[in-house]
Chains A and B, each alone.
Chain A
Amino acid sequence: MRTVTVVGASLSGLYAARELRAQGFDGRLVVVGDEPHRPYDRPPLSKDFLTGRSGEDQLALSDAEETTELDAEWLLGVRARGLDPRGRTVLLGDGRTVSTDGVVIATGASARRLPGCELAGVHTLRTLDDARALRAELAAGTRRVVVIGGGFIGAETASSCAGLGHDVTVVEAAPLPMVPQLGPEMAAVCAGLHRRGGVDLVTGTGVAGLRGTVAVTGVELADGRLLPADIVIVGIGATPNTDWLAGSTLALHDGVLCDDGCVTGLPQVVAVGDVARVGGTRAEHWTSATEQPRVAVRNLLAGHTAETVRPLPYFWSDQYGARIQFAGRRLDTDTVRIAEGGVTDDAPDEGGFLALYERDGRTTAVLSVDRPRPFMRARRELGRGVTVEAAAS
């Protein structure tokens, strides 16, 4: 392979570039990124960056020294708009083309929008530019903030806004926030955290529309209520960025379909991160985006699936001063047991707690609030033997 093109210059794209060099690829390395920025870390955008506790320099994922070592051509601020059927040419939005022998697809996902998103005061939070715009508005005095969606982005953003002194309401269509991720028992704890943080949580009703002509003035709920708002943050999930692959021969279905080794239908095209549906699962987790590239690159350079990856899903969230960590694969039928610490009135006790999800007498997943050490132990036990398996050749 003489040229490898990494399409996507965020977390998984950078990790893929690193892996290519670490695994001995010494050819031409091209990295294409639609944002004008060097690779940066997104998780702080809804947390310390939004509150002003950390700045842009702390978001950088790389530095000048590493950039020199990687010896890549960075094509930033330009979107890929196509991949030819053989997977040998990447078409760029500015009309240029990159001829390539291998491709790593790492184009991530985009925030879902609502009709009315063009009104002033309506935000999504996915990119650095999103976060800059929201941070600037939040700095202009106390505002009525409505957050649509009680998932990770919604809860963390609401927490940050409340911490800045704004008047915050979270709207969640389900009866509780975070049920798909955590199940109803632990979702109730998340609801308790919102309450403890002084945020109004409106659940069980969807959004009918955004009100306003030039700037947003309110959020109309499906049950007829109107929530006045100066700022609306739409946190209703993300869709994988696969539109640019419409003319390729790759199978697309809520992501780029890959085998357990991140390899697509073309052996010289692999996919990693939020855009990749690996072995039937698309995980929008930071940790997956950092773990998949090693295996994906190995298989890309091997020309076939030599290794598979099935990391234990892991995610964390910081909200209202609590650090939530979750690892494992839970089913709705699993039972939840508090193994350490406690919960009172749906809020964690001082010192947090550790909860185990169990099925047929064994642990399937673990969740902790402010108990990192026992969580780490449990996560390791869960992960033992399931992280990486050599593929039968």
Chain B
Amino acid sequence: MIPVCRLDDLPAGESVRIDTAPPIAVFNADGELYAIDDTCTHQDASLSEGWLEGCLVECPLHAASFDLRTGLPTCLPARRAVRTHRVTVDDGMVHVHVATEVFAEVAAEEEGTAA
């Protein structure tokens, strides 16, 4: 789980990029928060810099579009999905649960060793 920013600092229509490896983009799409891998699957461009419209984000370089809910591309030139990540807000703080990390946490909890 990665703290991103305060919810107040991510108003509707805005996005933020976090420097994970690979980087992740978090969007506030009209009040709903979404997180996806930040790098377009077509070529090297940051989707957090993209054009947000409803639940779609358009890549700023070649106009590939992704659905924030599923990560699936909705038009060319992208053909592969970006990963999606779960977002939660606790005490006004936005957190991203990185897709693989979630599995690790679940595994740790099952073993009873979660911190």
Q: Do A and B come from one complex?
A: yes
Q: Interface on A for B, CB 8 Å cutoff?
A: 15, 18, 41, 43-44, 48, 61-63, 66, 286-287, 290, 316, 323, 325, 372-373, 375-377, 380
Contacting pair A286 B51 (CB below 8 A): no
B76 CB-CB contact with A under 8 Å: yes
Apart from A62-B79, A290-B76, A376-B51, what 14 extra A-B contacts exist at CB < 8 Å? A41-B43, A41-B77, A44-B43, A48-B44, A286-B62, A287-B62, A290-B77, A316-B61, A323-B61, A372-B45, A372-B50, A375-B60, A376-B49, A380-B51
Tell me the B1-49 residues at the A interface (CB within 8 Å): 43-46, 49
Smallest CB–CB gap between B66 and chain A, Å?
15
Contacting pair B62 A373 (CB below 8 A): no
User: Which B residues are CB-close (under 8 A) to A43?
Assistant: 43
Tell me the B61-100 residues at the A interface (CB within 8 Å): 61-63, 76-77, 79
Bound Cα distance from A290 to B77, whole angstroms? 9
Contacting pair B79 A372 (CB below 8 A): no
Interface magnitude class on chain B = 10 to 19
Contacting pair B44 A373 (CB below 8 A): no
Contacting pair B49 A373 (CB below 8 A): yes
User: Which B residues are CB-close (under 8 A) to A380?
Assistant: 51
User: Which B residues are CB-close (under 8 A) to A325?
Assistant: 60-61
Contacting pair A372 B46 (CB below 8 A): yes
Contacting pair B43 A372 (CB below 8 A): no
Smallest CB–CB gap between B60 and chain A, Å?
4
User: Which B residues are CB-close (under 8 A) to A44?
Assistant: 43
Contacting pair B62 A372 (CB below 8 A): no
The dominant DSSP class at the B interface is: loop
Contacting pair B79 A63 (CB below 8 A): yes
Smallest CB–CB gap between B53 and chain A, Å?
10
User: Which B residues are CB-close (under 8 A) to A61?
Assistant: 77
User: Which B residues are CB-close (under 8 A) to A15?
Assistant: 76
Bound Cα distance from A8 to B40, whole angstroms? 27
Smallest CB–CB gap between B23 and chain A, Å?
15
Bound Cα distance from A51 to B79, whole angstroms? 24
Task: Contacts A43-B43, A48-B44, A286-B62 given; indicate if A372 touches B49 (C-beta within 8 A).
Answer: yes
User: Which A residues are CB-close (under 8 A) to B43?
Assistant: 41, 43-44
Show 30 A/B contacts (Cβ-Cβ < 8 Å), sorted by A: A15-B76, A18-B76, A41-B43, A43-B43, A44-B43, A48-B44, A61-B77, A62-B79, A63-B79, A66-B79, A286-B62, A287-B62, A287-B63, A290-B62, A290-B76, A290-B77, A316-B61, A323-B61, A325-B60, A325-B61, A372-B46, A372-B49, A372-B50, A372-B60, A372-B61, A375-B60, A376-B49, A376-B50, A376-B58, A376-B60
Bound Cα distance from A323 to B60, whole angstroms? 11
Bound Cα distance from A283 to B63, whole angstroms? 18
User: Which A residues are CB-close (under 8 A) to B58?
Assistant: 376
Smallest CB–CB gap between B62 and chain A, Å?
7
Smallest CB–CB gap between A311 and chain B, Å?
11
User: Which A residues are CB-close (under 8 A) to B60?
Assistant: 325, 372-373, 375-376
Smallest CB–CB gap between A279 and chain B, Å?
22
5 shortest interchain CB distances as A-B pairs? A372-B60, A372-B49, A373-B49, A376-B60, A376-B51
Smallest CB–CB gap between B2 and chain A, Å?
23
Smallest CB–CB gap between B45 and chain A, Å?
7
Smallest CB–CB gap between B108 and chain A, Å?
34
Most buried by B among A61, A63, A376: A376
Bound Cα distance from A376 to B77, whole angstroms? 17
User: Which B residues are CB-close (under 8 A) to A375?
Assistant: 60
User: Which B residues are CB-close (under 8 A) to A48?
Assistant: 44
Smallest CB–CB gap between A296 and chain B, Å?
16
Smallest CB–CB gap between B59 and chain A, Å?
9
Smallest CB–CB gap between A52 and chain B, Å?
14
Most buried by B among A66, A372, A375: A372
User: Which A residues are CB-close (under 8 A) to B62?
Assistant: 286-287, 290
Smallest CB–CB gap between B29 and chain A, Å?
16
Bound Cα distance from A166 to B62, whole angstroms? 30
Bound Cα distance from A323 to B49, whole angstroms? 13
Smallest CB–CB gap between A219 and chain B, Å?
32
Bound Cα distance from A203 to B36, whole angstroms? 45
Smallest CB–CB gap between A213 and chain B, Å?
41
Smallest Cβ-Cβ distance to B49: which chain A residue: A372
User: Which A residues are CB-close (under 8 A) to B51?
Assistant: 376-377, 380
Bound Cα distance from A62 to B79, whole angstroms? 8
